[in-house]
Amino acid sequence: MSTVVVAEKPSVARDIARVLGARRKGEGFLEGNGYVVTWALGHLVQFAEPDDYGPPWKGRWAFSQLPMLPEQWQLKTGSSTYAQFRVVRKLLNDAAHDRIVCATDAGREGEHIFRLIYEQARCRKPFQRLWISSLTDQAIRQGFGQLQPGTAFNGLAQAARARAQADWLVGMNLTRAYTVHNKALCTIGRVQTPTLAMLARRDEAIANFVKSYFYELVAQLAEGFAAKYSKDGQTRIDVKEEAERLHRQLAPYKTGTVMKIEKKIVRHRPPALYDLTNLQRDANRRFGFTAAKVLEYAQTLYETHKLITYPRTESRHISEDMVGQLPGILERLEHEQAPVALERLRQGHRLSRA
C-alpha cells in the first residue's frame, strides 16, 4: 500500500518527491519509498462553459437564454491537459493506494484546484492536507509530519467554489447580455469590469484636469526651523493677491513668540509583511517591474530558490509555527549574490516593463 500525493505543478511535485525519496519516473508521476507524487497543471479541471450544457444555452447568443443558472454545475477538463487528468484520476482511485495527500498550494485557489480534480475523478477516499508555505526540505518534512484531515479545510473549499461560481455567473451572463446589446463582443468579469471602470474614471479625471496654483507662506526661523502660516488648519492660499497681502502684513515682524510646546512619544509599528498586491505595488514603484513580472520572480524565489514563502497569499501575517523557520530564510538571503543583486537594484538597474 502507498500514498498518493497531488501537487499543483510539476516543479513542486519534484521537490516533494525528492524529499520523500520518490525518485522513479513514471508517466505523469514520480514514485518510490511508499509514495506516488503526481501533479495538476494549474486548473486541470474547470467549470464547464454554457455551450457544454447544450440547448438552450448552446449556439447563437440571445437574450432569451438569460439568465443562465446551472441547476447542477458541470465540470470539464481541457483537451491539452486531459492526459494528465487521466493519470491523476487513475492514481486516486487505484486500490493499491490507501492514502491521499492534497499538496496543492496553501491557499483558497490551491484548495479549489484539488477539490475539482477530486470531484471530477469521482474519488470517495478520505484525504489529508499538506499545509506549508515554504518549499524548503525542512518545511516539507515538517509538513508531512503534521498532516491534517482534509475535512478541516471544507470551509476554505466552499469559499473558493463560491468565488468561482460567482465569477461564472457574472462573467457568462453579463458577457452575453452586453455582447447581444452592443452587437460586438464585450467581455464582463467580476473583477475585470470594476477594475476597468476605475481606470476609465481615472483617465477621465486626467483628461478633464484643470491646472491651478496655490500659495503658502513660510517663515525661516533660527537654527533651520521653518514655520508655515495656517488658518483654520489650512496652509494653502488659493488667491495670489491674498498671499501677497498676508506677506506684506507679516514681513515687518522679525521676531516671534513660542506660545506652546507639545512633546509626545510616538510609537510606529514595523510594517506588516508583504502580500502579493503590496509586493507588486512596491516593486513597480521602486524598480519599474510589472505586476506579472513580480509574480513571475516571486514564484521563482519560492519554488526554485526557496528564499520566500508562498507568494500568492492575501495575508500579511505568518502563523506561529513558522517563526522558527525565519532565521534560516534570513541566512539564505545573506548569500554572496544577494547583496550584489540588491545593490544593482538600488543603483537604478531596471528590467524591461514589457
Per the residue annotation, which of 35, 118, 302, 310 is the catalytic one?
A: 310
Please tell me whether the peptide bond between 55 and the residue prior to it is cis, using omega within 30 degrees of 0: no
- Give the SS3 label for residue 281: helix
| Grid coordinates given for 160 | 473558493
Rounded to the nearest 10 degrees, what angle do helices 137-144 and 10-20 cross at?
A: 70
Q: Which residue has the cell 519599474?
A: 288
H-helix or E-strand spanning residue 192? helix 192-207
CA-to-CA dists, residue 281 to 193, 257, 277, 278, 291, angstroms: 20, 45, 6, 5, 8
- Give the SS3 label for residue 156: helix
Spatial separation of the C-alpha atoms in residues 118 and 325, rounded to whole Å: 32
Dihedral pair phi/psi, residue 19, rounded to 5°: -65, -35
Q: 253 an active-site residue?
A: no
Instruction: Name the residue among 24, 45, 47 with its Cα closest to residue 36.
Output: 24
- Report the 10 Å Cβ neighbour count for 252: 6
Active site residues: 310
